[in-house]
Amino acid sequence: MKLDQIETPAALIDRPRMMRNIERMQAHMNALGVAFRPHVKTSKCVDVARAQRDAGARGITVSTLKEAEQFFAAGFSDILYAVGMVASKLPRALALKQSGCDLKLIVDNLESARGVAEFGRLHGVTFEVWIEIDTDGHRSGVKPGEARLIDIGRALHQDGARLGGVLTHAGSSYELNTAESLAALAEQERAGCVQAAERLREAGLPCDVVSVGSTPTALAARHLEGVTEVRAGVYVFFDLVMRNVGVCNMADLALSVLTTVIGHQADKGGAILDAGWMAMSRDRGTAKQTHDYGYGQPCTLDGSPLEGYTLTAANQEHGILANTGHPDGDITAHLPVGTRLLILPNHACATGAQYPAYHARLGADEIEVWDRFYGW
């Protein structure tokens, strides 16, 4: 299949860029002496995860039990489900364990810890559970110094469960945009997670794994003493949010949306595309960053940005492209009906989620279809 045979809108992966991104992260992890466990919620695509594994990744991280099921069926066994476990989801986790999946769960509260262990005892299964640590006040987790950390650890150190380690995610890294602040947060993430692990060990509890990570902190980390593994997801494609954070260049962005000009707002200097918010997602993650890219950055088919042009607005199946600096009075001639463009997205995880499959551009004009899935 060639590029001009793809119907629009389509989610296009630039495979050479993706491979560079994978190699860059893996090389950094190797240099820091830690294992790397990519978060496959970004792609939900077996072909992408295989490329990450082939480059040296050990295990995967997932955000839904459906991802765990799909990747296990595709031959991935070492799977971390990195969203706090609750009782109602335990039967699916049990089914995975009983099928031979090396599934790890996480908890950040005593009630959930007790629930997992009790459910494991009841069904004669030992769930490996990691404790989620909050190192930046961003979302969930137990703070490294909290007394209940030990209580949770003890609840997981009995029949039905096995305390496997601790993990943290410094999601506030998305709000930063300097190398120094990112390196400082990476150190805070590392130090907090290691502190939690040491407290557990001092209490006589096992804590083999110390898992940290987010794409920005993973790339910014200067040393990872005490850490055993790192997790990151969006680095595989990167996106405009990550570009604003400062951890990639525009030429690293490996996911874009292929679109066609279907009309114009000639009086306003706008072109109407068949990529609206259904194709781009509603993500406006760059709105509060240093450069607001609207709903995305238009590029020509070779991936070169159309300087000054932005996807300024989006309806369900219509996107509006305009030159925000100098209204383009001759846009019908510059971008006639039928013109094809690429749009770089704000947030690759959100944009990819809108598509049943990616079109992967292997080289100059060779396309493969890579399935992806959705739902829970």
- Site of interaction with a copy of itself (CB under 8 A): 7-10, 41, 63-64, 83-89, 92, 108-109, 111-112, 139-140, 171, 260-265, 272, 274, 277-279, 281-284, 315-318, 320, 336-338, 347, 349-350, 353-357, 374-376
Q: Which is nearer to a copy of itself, 66 or 123 (CB)?
A: 66
Q: Report helix, strand and coil shares of the chain as percent, to nearest 5.
A: 35, 25, 40
Question: Which residue type sits at 191?
Answer: A
Give min distance, CB of 316 to a copy of itself, in A: 6
Using only C-alpha atoms, the chain has a radius of gyration, in whole angstroms, of: 22
Tell the burial category of 357 from Cβ atoms under 10 Å away from its Cβ (0-12, 13-18, 19+).
middle
Q: Which is nearer to a copy of itself, 224 or 271 (CB)?
A: 271
Q: Which is nearer to a copy of itself, 124 or 327 (CB)?
A: 327
Residue 173's nearest CA partner among 164, 184, 158 is 184
Please say whether the beta carbons of 219 and 235 come within 8 A. yes
Q: Which is nearer to a copy of itself, 28 or 359 (CB)?
A: 359
Give min distance, CB of 353 to a copy of itself, in A: 6
Give min distance, CB of 200 to a copy of itself, in A: 19
DSSP per residue, 101-135: -EEEEEE-SHHHHHHHHHHHHHHT--EEEEEEE-S
Give min distance, CB of 235 to a copy of itself, in A: 15
Q: Which is nearer to a copy of itself, 7 or 302 (CB)?
A: 7
Give min distance, CB of 279 to a copy of itself, in A: 8
231 Rama class: left (phi>0) / alpha (psi -120 to 50) / beta: beta
Question: Which residue type sits at 95?
Answer: A
